C-alpha cells in the first residue's frame, strides 16, 4: 500500500510499504478515507522527537472497515468509523475509568499509545491506504449514515475536537463562564467551539496570526491579538479586571515570543495571570519531559520557570494531558449529526495522499492560509 513515511528531520515521503493487516483476533482493518496532518506531527517532522525512521505517520484517521478479526463483536465490515488518536485496550485500570489516553496495556512501560507517533508504541499511522486498529470494539467510533457527507466534520472527532473539548473539561467550563484560550490553531479553535457548546458566555482566543484570528470570529468567539498590546492585559480588561473564569492552553512548549524565540512556559504563565483566583486551567498543548534539541538546559529537561507562587496564591487548578477521546467522541458525534456544530469549517486544504509531503512542508512553514490539512488516500 502507499503510505507517508518518516525519513528524518524535514523529510517525509509517500512510499510503497507492506499492507496493514489483521494481526490479532481483536483487530479490524480500515480503508482510510480521510486522514489529517496534525500540528503535533510537526514535532516529529522537525526532528524534535526520537521517532524511528520508516514509521508511517498519521493519528487523525477515519475510514471504512474492510475486515474484522475473529473476536470482534460490535464493529462490522462496511461500518464507517472514526478512530481516536490514542489506542486503548479498554480493560486496564486507566481505560476502565475513562482515562483512555493513558492505557497501560497498549504501550508497555508508558501510559498511553497512539497511531504513528513517537514514543507511543509500535503502531503505524493512518496517512496510508490501510490502517490496522487494535482492540477494535473498544477503539472504533461507528458513524451514522451521513458519514461521507460530513466527512470533514466527523474526521475531527479523531483528535482536535475532543482535544479542544478536553481542555474545556479540564478547565471545568460551565454555563455563563468567561473563558480564555491561548492559541488559535486547530486545537484552540476547537476549544473555543467547545466552550460555546458548554454554555460559556464569553470566549476569548489569543493569537497573532491574522488568518487564525479571523477563524476565531467565524466560530463566534472574540479574537485577542497579541501582536501588539499585552494579551494578559487585554483579557483582564475584557473581564472587568477580574480575569477569566477558565483558561485553556492550546499552544504547547513551542510557544514563541515577539522576538521569535522559543519560550516554553510563556503561555502557562500568561494563563496564570489572565485567569481569576479560583479559576481553572486546562492544558492540552503538548509539553515534553525531555526536549534534547531545545536551546537552554532547563528546556532540555522539560522544565521552565513557572509562576507557582501566583498560581498558589490565586488558588487555581490545572489539569493536563492528552485527551481521553472516548469520553467525548459519542456526544460530539451526536452534535455533528444534528448539525449543531461544524468543526470542518477550519479545513483549509484537501490533498491526495501523494501530495502529503508537500502538505507537511507548507503546514510546517506556516504558509498563510494553511490552517488544517486533510489527506484523501
Q: Specify the length of the chain in residues.
A: 377
Contacts of 49 (CB under 8 A, 6+ apart): 43, 118, 119
Cα–Cα distance for residue pair 357/364, rounded to 1 Å: 11
Q: Which long-range contacts (CB under 8 A, 24 or more apart) does 240-244 make?
A: 242/276, 243/273, 243/274, 243/275, 243/276, 243/277, 243/279, 244/177, 244/178, 244/179, 244/180, 244/202, 244/204, 244/274, 244/275, 244/276, 244/279
Piece in contact with its own copies (CB under 8 A), picked from 14-22, 66-74, 125-133, 366-374: 66-74
Piece in contact with its own copies (CB under 8 A), picked from 121-129, 231-239, 264-272, 354-362: 264-272
24 binds its own copies, rule: CB under 8 A: yes
Q: Which of 56, 89, 180, 205 binds its own copies (CB under 8 A)?
A: 89
Cα–Cα distance for residue pair 180/237, rounded to 1 Å: 12
Confirm if 220 and 254 have CB atoms less than 8 A apart: no
Q: Which of 317, 342, 345, 364 binds its own copies (CB under 8 A)?
A: 317
Instruction: Kindly state the cell numbers that stand for 322.
Output: 492528552
Q: How far is the CB of 54 from its own copies (least distance, A)?
A: 24
Going from the C-alpha of 138 to that of each of 74, 88, 100, the distances in angstroms are 9, 7, 10
345 binds its own copies, rule: CB under 8 A: no
Cα–Cα distance for residue pair 146/144, rounded to 1 Å: 6
Contact positions with its own copies (CB under 8 A) in 276-315:
276-278, 283, 286-291, 298, 301-315
What does the per-residue mask of binding to its own copies show for 164-203, with x meaning CB under 8 A? Answer: -x----x---xxxxx------------------xxx-xx-
331 binds its own copies, rule: CB under 8 A: yes
Q: How far is the CB of 157 from its own copies (least distance, A)?
A: 11
Piece in contact with its own copies (CB under 8 A), picked from 2-10, 43-51, 63-71, 366-374: 63-71
Q: Which of 13, 66, 71, 77 binds its own copies (CB under 8 A)?
A: 71
13 binds its own copies, rule: CB under 8 A: no
Contact positions with its own copies (CB under 8 A) in 208-227:
none
Q: Quick one: 35 or 322, whose CB is closer to its own copies? A: 322
Tell me the site size for its own copies, rule CB under 8 A: 85
Q: Quick one: 278 or 295, whose CB is closer to its own copies? A: 278
Amino acid at each position: 500500500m502507499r503510505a507517508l513515511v518518516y525519513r528524518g528531520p524535514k523529510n517525509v515521503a509517500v512510499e510503497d510499504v507492506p499492507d496493514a493487516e489483521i494481526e490479532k483476533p481483536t483487530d479490524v482493518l480500515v480503508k482510510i478515507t480521510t486522514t489529517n496532518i496534525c500540528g503535533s506531527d510537526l514535532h516529529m517532522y522537525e526532528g524534535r522527537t526520537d521517532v524511528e525512521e520508516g514509521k508511517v505517520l498519521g493519528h487523525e484517521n477515519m475510514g471504512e472497515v474492510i475486515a474484522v478479526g475473529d473476536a470482534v463483536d460490535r464493529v462490522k465490515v462496511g461500518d464507517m468509523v472514526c478512530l481516536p488518536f490514542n489506542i486503548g485496550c479498554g480493560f486496564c485500570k486507566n481505560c476502565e475509568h475513562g482515562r483512555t489516553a493513558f492505557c497501560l496495556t497498549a504501550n508497555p512501560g508508558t501510559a498511553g499509545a497512539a497511531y504513528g507517533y513517537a514514543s507511543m508504541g509500535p503502531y503505524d499511522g493512518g496517512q496510508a491506504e490501510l490502517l490496522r486498529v487494535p482492540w477494535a470494539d473498544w477503539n472504533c467510533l461507528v458513524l451514522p449514515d451521513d458519514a461521507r457527507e460530513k466527512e470533514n466534520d466527523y474526521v475531527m472527532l479523531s483528535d482536535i475536537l475532543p482535544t479542544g473539548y478536553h481542555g474545556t473539561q479540564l478547565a471545568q467550563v460551565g454555563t455563563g463562564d468567561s473563558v480564555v484560550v491561548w492559541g488559535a490553531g486547530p486545537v484552540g479553535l476547537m476549544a473555543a467551539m467547545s466552550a460555546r457548546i458548554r454554555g460559556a458566555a464569553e470566549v476569548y482566543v489569543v493569537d497573532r496570526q491574522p488568518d487564525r484570528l479571523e477563524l476565531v470570529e467565524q466560530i463566534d468567539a472574540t479574537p485577542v491579538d497579541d501582536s501588539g498590546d499585552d494579551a494578559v492585559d487585554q483579557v483582564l480588561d475584557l473581564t472587568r479586571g477580574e480575569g477569566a473564569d477558565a483558561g485553556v492552553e492550546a499552544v504547547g512548549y513551542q510557544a514563541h515570543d515577539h522576538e521569535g524565540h522559543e519560550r516554553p512556559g510563556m503561555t502557562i504563565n500568561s494563563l496564570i495571570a489572565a485567569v481569576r483566583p479560583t479559576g481553572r486551567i486546562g492544558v492540552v498543548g503538548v509539553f515534553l519531559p525531555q526536549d534534547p534539541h531545545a536551546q537552554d538546559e532547563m528546556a532540555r529537561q522539560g522544565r521552565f520557570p513557572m509562576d507557582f507562587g501566583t498560581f498558589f496564591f490565586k488558588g487555581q487548578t490545572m489539569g493536563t494531558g492528552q485527551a481521553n477521546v472516548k469520553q467525548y467522541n459519542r456526544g460530539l458525534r451526536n452534535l455533528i449529526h444534528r448539525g449543531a456544530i461544524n468543526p470542518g469549517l477550519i479545513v483549509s486544504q484537501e490533498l491526495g495522499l501523494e501530495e502529503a509531503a508537500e502538505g507537511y512542508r507548507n503546514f510546517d512553514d506556516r504558509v498563510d492560509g494553511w490552517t488544517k490539512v486533510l489527506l484523501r488516500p
